[in-house]
Every structure is written in C-alpha cells, then in structure tokens.
Amino acid sequence: MPFAFPSRLYPIIDTLGDPRRSHVELAAALVGAGVRFLQLRVKERPTARFVDLARAVRAVTSRAGARLIINDRVDVARLVDAAGVHLGQDDLPVAAARQILGPGAIIGCSTHTLGQAVDAAQTGLADYIGFGPIYPTGSKANPDPVQGVEGLRTVRARVRLPIVAIGGITAATMDEVLGAGADAVAMIGEIVRASDVAATVRGLLATAYDFRLRSSS
C-alpha cells in the first residue's frame, strides 16, 4: 500500500540548542497532544548519545502508538527499531537504506531543487520526499536556497510521491503551503520554541484538519 502521512502536520523534535527542554519532554508533549508521526533530529551529538536519546524517545512514541522517524542515521533507526529514517542529500543513499532497513521501513528523502525531487521520485525507493526550504529558516547553520511556494507548486506538478514541505513554516503560512500542494508540513521552531508545546500542537493539528475538510468539500 502506498505511504500516506497520517496528518498534514509532521513535527520534528530538535532542542535547537535550548537546554530548558529535552528531546524526551518534547516527544511526550507531542504524542500527548495527538501526534502519531514524528521525526527525531539530533545534530552534533556523539553516536552513543544519539542512540540513548532515540531509545528514550522511541519508548515514548511506542507507548502512544506513534511512529518515529530518525533523521539522517540509518544505523540508529535500525538499532532502536524506529519506523523509518529521513535522509538528506549527503546521507546514505536511499537504495542502501532500503537494503538495510527492508521493505517495511518508511524512508523519506530531502530535496532542495526540482531536479533532486524528480530524481528521488523516479527511483521508486523512497516513500515520500521532503522539499524546501519554503521560507527562510533558522534551524540549519547553512540552509539551502529558499524555494518558495511557487517552487513547491512546480514540484507538485512533476512528482506523485507524498511531499512534506519544510523550512520556516508557521501556523500563519500553513494553509498557503498546503494549498501549494504539500501533503504535510514539517515544523521545528514553531513547535519546540512554543511556550506551551502541547497547546500549540493541538492548534496546528486543528488547522491541518480544517484544511482537509475545506479541500475535500
């Protein structure tokens, strides 16, 4: 069965260097608010620490019946029995990840240009692609060039795989991005920097649900 995002909101857990919140606390807030599909993003940490964090977050998501995607690291995804992995352009190739994780794993691939998106879709090995950044973003030290909603529309016209849009997306721009053809929107800063993470996520899930109702009417 082809992959489909369970919600139009795709939260990404990343503390963004803020010591006040842990990955596990963020995961608990997300699943408590109703999220059932999320990604763990851990940058600049030793592998052993990444594995420890992933196991702890996996325990939280497992209790809630949520699927956990690991950013970048196929080895970590396999070690903690995550639902899958999300790979960047400089990570292990999708074909190699599929060999390691098997046909049942969910594999996403980040793309930043039309050419990359088309190439990723044509291999037939990824379950979905990420595309962006749609807007300027502060979650990466060296972000790729902004693609905008017009870039997203162009990719949507050429690619049949599910697309999660990423990069600077907020509650205020969520409808615009979904209207441009994204199947889901990934958010990091809008969620993890919120004063009340659970309340913010509930609001975003409601916005996503309202968009689905409007688009299907």
In this predicted structure, what is the pLDDT of residue 217?
Answer: 59
One-letter identity of residue 60: V
Q: Which residue from 146, 145, 144, 128 is spatially nearest to 185, judged by alpha carbons?
A: 128
Q: Specify the residue for token string 């196929």.
A: 74
In this predicted structure, what is the pLDDT of residue 214?
Answer: 74
Task: State the Cα–Cα distance between residues 117 and 137, nearest whole angstrom.
Answer: 20
Q: Which residue from 150, 157, 109 is spatially nearest to 129, judged by alpha carbons?
A: 109
pLDDT tens for each residue of 134-182: 999 877 767 889 999 999 999 999 999 999 999 999 999 999 999 999 9
What own/partner pairs with CB < 8 Å and gap ≥ 24 does 118-123 have?
118/155, 118/158, 118/159, 120/94, 120/161, 121/158, 121/159, 121/160, 121/161, 123/94, 123/95
In this predicted structure, what is the pLDDT of residue 50?
Answer: 96
Q: Could you say which residues of the chain have pLDDT below 70?
A: 141, 216-217
Do 13 and 41 contact (CB within 8 A), yes or no?
yes
Structure pTM? 0.95
CA 43 to chain CA mean position, Å: 15
The CATH number of 9-216 is: 3.20.20.70
